[in-house]
Structure formats: structure tokens, C-alpha cells
Amino acid sequence: MALLTYNQIKKKVGNAWALVANPEYLSKNGKLSKGILVFFDEDKKKVHEKSLNCNYKHITVRFFGEIDYNQIFVL
């Protein structure tokens, strides 16, 4: 699996949740800049289930779609 930039991941994932391994962050603001896209799905629960069996030491789960501020998210 290749290291992808944030924009490359966002383009592949679209409006979904993603499991990203070996994340790298911008030091100025802490935003994700690069990582290895392991898995993505519109269902957050499926992504979290995949993260439980992930063999990478460092992972993050992110939503790459547009946030509807009229909805409530439970993290």
C-alpha cells in the first residue's frame, strides 16, 4: 500500500469514513497530511471494526465527506 496525500485519499474515499495507517500531520495545525489508506466505507461501524484487526501501530479513523452541521455525531 502506498503513502497518499490527504487530497489523494479524499478523492478515493469521497463522502465516507476511512481507516488511515501511519498518519503524518502538519506540524502547524495538526491536520492530516499523508497516510496509507487501509479501508473506507460509508458505514463508520464497519471502518471501526476493520481498525480492530489492523496490523499497523499508528492508525486514525477520519470522515472525509462534508459535515452536515444540522446532524449530531456520536464519536
> Among 73, 57, 64, 72, which residue's Cα sits nearest to residue 23?
57
* String of DSSP letters for 32-50: EEEEEEEEEES-HHHHHHH
> Among 51, 67, 74, which residue's Cα sits nearest to residue 15?
67
Residue 57 has pLDDT above 70, yes or no: yes
Q: Where are the domains of the chain?
A: 3-63
pLDDT of residue 49: 96
Cα–Cα distance between 44 and 62 in angstroms, integer? 9
Cα–Cα distance between 6 and 53 in angstroms, integer? 23
pLDDT of residue 73: 67
pLDDT tens column, 6-35: 999 999 999 999 999 999 998 878 899 999
